[in-house]
Structure 1
């Protein structure tokens, strides 16, 4: 896929002929310097942004051909999102925030699955609490549970631990890892943090809008060493 902004002399190529497969049931991290195109890639894969050229599929559905209404429906029913800002409604308690997308869609939650998700993220004793009564880490756990509860085919996380301290971030990353291992979830996460990337099965490295490397079963030390090979302008050194 290719994604360009502007035209003529002001044209900026954010993604330059990127070709990638995301495996079901795996945790994939996307890394790269600022301006490398990692957030653009995630937004295009998730159907939040359009591509200039190329095609994207989720399972057998080519999302680049969908009209707005169908694309909105696909994002609601088949895709989950976790953002750096928790995006919780302050007037709703934790449980109501978790089930909100399904409530809007007019779908009843699968209670057995919902309980399993709540147990996985460790929120059983906090379901009646509103966001203001929860720590930052607990609020992000609610956001993780909300993404998981609808059983989406894929979850996209945009710096999901960016607003958390290291302890809370490790908790949330542990829950994401468990959701892959125990619940069979598929996760794609954009991050700049080598520690966060160390939780993934696979790390994709972007520079200048292209995938320049990948790493399987990484450690945070290996990720950090690889990131050092990018210079300050985001180019491969």
Structure 2
């Protein structure tokens, strides 16, 4: 699907694609034991390449959010391997894992997770402030301008619309130039126009800024902004779609629903 990028594209930004930003190998996640045992993920192997936008889809309970949380180091794994770049997450202690998430990973959630007492700008720079690092002012200005937040930086979240709050959350995720951004249903609390704007920004950040984005969504239209869609069912990857359209994604989802009803 063709989507116009809101970012100014510079040829100098485009490095060769193909290197891997994050990888899971034989990843399993099990909750409970005995009769209550549930395998949320069952030997999943997947790669997320740099400068690529991947959507993760599947029925409720398919394991898509669990996969993202394990890949981002927000949840432990039962077996297998998860890596950000060349770093094996299981090899890190709590402090090292916290530092990696802060320095290498950006997060965008359905709930905006903004601190109500801070201004928009303070919310954007908060992770870097905690880390004792100064923001790259030129980079920050580019993000803020692109997201249309220049006139809102002194506002607190209660003074912003839902779409503006989510744009602040996107700016916060982009501000530290992370190696990968994980987005969990980022348009879930937005109206269709604000959602389309947000997806356009994410799509543009991949095209123009060489950002890597992995997004969990249930919305075929949202998934059509991605370069590829991977489909999960019962904790396993069951299909993949490149250059998706909303109709093609919906058709795949209907097929999975039909299989579920007949199995």
Shorter-chain TM-score category? over 0.9
1:207 aligns with 2:200: no
For the pair 1:142 / 2:168, whether they are aligned, the reply is: yes
**CA 1:26/1:235 → structure 2, altered by over 3 Å: closer, same or farther?**
farther
Aligned 8 A contact 1:36 1:234 in 2 = no
In the alignment, is residue 155 of structure 1 matched against residue 181 of structure 2? yes
Give 1 or 2: higher strand fraction.
2
Corresponding residue for residue 17 of structure 1:
43
- Partner Cα separation in structure 2 for residue 131 and residue 35 of structure 1: 32
Q: TM-score, normalised by structure 2?
A: 0.87
Q: Which runs of 5+ in 1 are unaligned?
A: none
2:237 matched to 1:197?
A: no
User: How far 1:233 sits from its partner (Å)?
Assistant: 8.6
Q: Find the partner of 1:126 among 152, 155, 180.
A: 152
> CA shift at 1:223, angstroms?
0.6
- Partner Cα distance (2:33, 2:258) in 1: 26
Q: Note the 1:172-183 alignment, pairs <5 A.
A: 172-183=198-209
Mapped pair 1:53 → 2:79: yes
User: Which residue in 2 is equivalent to 1:89?
Assistant: 115
Q: 1:34 aligns with which of 50, 54, 60?
A: 60
Structure 2 unaligned spans of 5+: 1-26
Q: For residue 225 of structure 1, give the secondary structure of its aligned residue in structure 2.
A: helix
Equivalent positions of 1:108-127 (< 5 A) are 108-127=134-153
Tell me the CA shift for residue 190 of structure 1: 0.3
Residue 226 of structure 1, CA deviation: 0.7
Calculate the TM-score normalised by the size of structure 1. Answer: 0.97
Pairing 1:216–2:242 present: yes
Q: Which residue of 2 aligns with 1:66?
A: 92
Q: CA RMSD in A?
A: 1.4
Alpha-carbon separation, structure 2, partners of 1:187 and 1:174: 12
Q: CA deviation at 1:45?
A: 0.3
Question: How far apart, in 2, do the equivalents of 1:159 and 1:180 lie?
Answer: 18
Rate the CA distance shift 1:107–1:88 in 2: closer, same or farther, 3 A: same
Give me the whole-angstrom Cα distance separating, in 2, the residues matched to 1:196 and 1:24: 20
What secondary structure does 2:237 align onto?
strand
Q: Distance in 2 between matches of 1:225 and 1:182?
A: 30
User: Residue 232 and residue 139 in structure 1: after superposition, are their counterparts in 2 closer, same or farther (change >3 A)?
Assistant: farther
- Displacement, 1:196? 0.4
Aligned match of 2:31: 5
How far apart are 1:236 and its partner, in Å? 8.8
